[in-house]
Amino acid sequence: MATAMQRSGGGGYVQRSSSSGLAEVLDVILDKGIVIDVFVRVSLVGIELLTIDARIVIASVDTYLRFAEAVNRLDLGTSGGQGLPQIMENMTEGGAKNKTKGVLEGAKDSLFGSDEDDDESQSGSGKRSPSRSRSGS
């Protein structure tokens, strides 16, 4: 059975997938489930980058500076700006979703780490997904 089963339905507003390869699901697997402490025998290689680094401390100077930069980057009130009305307008135009994402994505990628990479791989063809290392099925 393929793991990348996409559930149909919805108007394209909700990004859907089954589990494997998504950062937050891998996080759940590392964090939740039956565990018998004495028998946990694993050293994680390269996983820290995926999960621990994504846990940005929410109330930190770094966060504040990122927020400050984000509001300063806004181009409100001038023509061609990307304020909320503009975005909503794009969303309601047929097939404009990708265009809108494109506009927003640049800034986001630099802020989000691996997590947003996953978003991208899910919404795209999947070429960038980490399936390179998945064997079989």
Pick between residue 98 and residue 104 the one whose CB is nearest to other proteins.
Answer: 104
Cα separation, 97 vs 37, whole angstroms: 46
The site string for other proteins over 74-113 (x = CB under 8 A, - otherwise) reads x-x-----xxx--xx-xx--------x--xx--xx--xx-
Shortest distance, position 50 Cβ to other proteins, whole Å: 6
Alpha carbons 94 and 43: distance in angstroms, whole number: 48
Least separation in angstroms between residue 98's CB and other proteins is 13
- Among positions 41-80, residues that touch other proteins (CB under 8 A) are 41-47, 50, 54-56, 58-59, 61, 63-74, 76
Q: Which of 27, 17, 25 is nearest to 54 (CA)?
A: 27
CA angle 36–2–8, rounded 5-degree value: 110
